[in-house]
Chains A and B, each alone.
Chain A
């Protein structure tokens, strides 16, 4: 085995993506669809696929694979497949339709996404994403998704952070809900047709690997506690992101990394774990009982203006009493051409900067006021109150419900919060992980967004993966099948099951002093403090030590009441937090090793003179893929790093500038 680097990880062999066809970028996807093997319709019935997750990625994949005639089993932890967290997406979905003739094109969407991702994504995947984006809109409209329309009956578009064209399709402030309901309905149709079987309130707790191939999962029926194995010819993970490692995030309470982490532990490489996106427009924290943070859609930045007082003394004044000349519209000042629409990472960091200078607003939390104003006074003067209401009414209502203040009267207060994780399981052009037969789609994979995701691009990626990409790539693998039959009593299956049962019993047996949530909150605190918006060598090292200590305490001192054979929400949480405690450490190790700033990853040691992120393309233009190689006797994670070099053939590497 190779030497430990910095005492933390080992360097393994580089890997590369062999699945991308070696042709011009515009021809790659057609080429791939052609060369991938086909499965004879009569054989599809004999093949089975497990899809874990019913968000946009999972539901769309299940609907399509079901329609193609495979036997599909889908799993989710909610009580209905319609409730996956994709439902919460507010702002919209991008597509290069160029309906406004404002210069948009597949190539521009491709370019914007690569640039927005700070040149840390794989060109071939991103180009394909941009290419299929237009079909997504056609598909959704045909399903009856009620997108916003103009009076002429045609679809309306808005613009979003990081781009200068209007290519975002939306349905008021609930685009995610409408798209998910569309995909859900398409999937329910297949349930009726008998091709898809749903397992709701089922949590995947382990991956089953037989002869080196992913062949199933071990899942717990959350209502009865029954542990069951489900076997199939291929497994697809569509389990979303891991932002909840921070405890407070815009993710749903149940979002977790268990499925991907278990796969990682069984050999799937984890790509770029440290890339997290902090969203600039969330409602600030109001107290320590807070269970989650609520996002105010980024679309608000289209019409709202962000400012803080020029002077600290004005911080607790009524914002309406602060005259124009005493306000600092800092984004418009620093980035004149993008103004309030700069990408999220930049908007977030600048908000942190002004608050750190003591110019934040809202209640004092600790020593600082953590909030900036998002002001609609101008918009209301320019449009009418009714027009503002039509556009943002539900967001304003939500804000008022939570804070008790009306944004029609006083400016909103916003602050950045953890929102999205660009990292995830490494996949090749076929969306296949490093385990044969195991695929990852949607937010669960690392693929398309590099170091920073542009607004409205995740929904696009999830649906591209699920409707159009996966069904066309997985067939190349399934064509090799049906694989040898695996039964419940195969040794690998029995072992996977036993592992799950042991772990649950272990958690219940500890009977310590502290609740699961208290560990989760403490972990979140460490992550936000040291692996959040700004990361430093010193802070990350400290965090790694703290997390190891916390993990050790967790397995000694957690208190999980009740039993494993009923609905037991503490037990569910305990398993998730146990995995977060390992993932958190890996995120810090990844953040520590990447001594550059890029996208959502900002290292204080790597910035320009005026405080902008500074990339080091010569050293770090690669995807950092981590292999799980165990936890050593001191309780430390000792992962192995496999780099995938990023080669830019079609877009020139440049420092991003939004000035």
Chain B
């Protein structure tokens, strides 16, 4: 009588497999990427002047009316973003905790010749981004802490007013560097996690995409603040 193979006992720990957590992180990350890409494109309307920008700010609140209430789409977006944020941060935290448990005794000497700095700084970079987003929301969404002298009710003026202050621009600059690095690794990493890079060629493409997206988005974001700071826009 031949023995048959027994199926392996199910051994999923409570928080789910690492792969499940990774998938959450990748999907929420992709949501973020789409959001920041759109957000960046919107911000660039500042370059077209006050009217254009304010129309855009109003427009995103009226899309879908009357099917949706005023700012309805924005709220859907916000809910999506909040859910993603919770998922993203929670899975990041669990994975980080597991990683540190997986190596309780550190090396006395450790080199990392094969990886990019951005890949190794995802956790710190993510934390920086979290702090930034909190600050950013306080500033622009609610309660709209106004550091500058523009009108709070006028998005264009609020923006231009804020970035005339050098240290605000500096904070943003630092945040955009963090964002660029986060995206540089994040985009390729999400592609790998989603299983889209199973050949050397697709792997190269994803890595290039990471670098391009990281650069384009961080530069696109920082352009308006810099232009304000250097008085090209006022």
Interface residues of A (CB under 8 A from B): 41-42, 44, 66-69, 189-190, 192-195
Contact = CB atoms under 8 A, between A and B. Distances in A.
- Counting from the closest, the 7 A-B pairs by CB-CB distance are A41-B1, A193-B3, A67-B2, A69-B1, A195-B3, A193-B6, A189-B5
Contacts of A190: 3
A395 to B, nearest CB: 24
B105 interface: no
Interface size class for chain B? Answer: under 10
A42 B3 CA distance: 12
Contacts of A195: 3
Contacts of B4: 193
B8 interface: yes
Nearest to A44: B1
B8 A192 contact: yes
B6 A194 contact: yes
Contacts of B1: 41-42, 44, 69
Q: For chain B, what secondary structure do more than half of its interface residues adopt (helix, strand, loop), or is it mixed?
A: loop
Contacts of A44: 1
22 contacts: A41-B1, A42-B1, A44-B1, A66-B3, A67-B2, A67-B3, A68-B2, A69-B1, A69-B2, A69-B3, A189-B5, A190-B3, A192-B5, A192-B6, A192-B8, A193-B3, A193-B4, A193-B5, A193-B6, A194-B3, A194-B6, A195-B3
Contacts of A189: 5
A192 B4 CA distance: 10
Contacts of A41: 1
Interface string B1-30: 111111010000000000000000000000
A44 B8 CA distance: 24
Nearest to B7: A192
Given A193-B4, A194-B3, 16 more contacts: A41-B1, A66-B3, A67-B2, A67-B3, A68-B2, A69-B1, A69-B2, A69-B3, A189-B5, A190-B3, A192-B5, A192-B6, A193-B3, A193-B5, A193-B6, A194-B6
A67 B1 CA distance: 8
A189 B4 CA distance: 9
Most buried by A among B3, B6, B8: B3
Nearest to B3: A193
A195 B1 CA distance: 12
Nearest to A41: B1
Nearest to B9: A192
A66 B1 CA distance: 10
Contacts of A42: 1
A42 to B, nearest CB: 8
A41 B1 CA distance: 5
B8 to A, nearest CB: 7
Contacts of B6: 192-194
Contacts of B2: 67-69
A153 B3 CA distance: 32
Interface string B73-105: 000000000000000000000000000000000
Contacts of A194: 3, 6
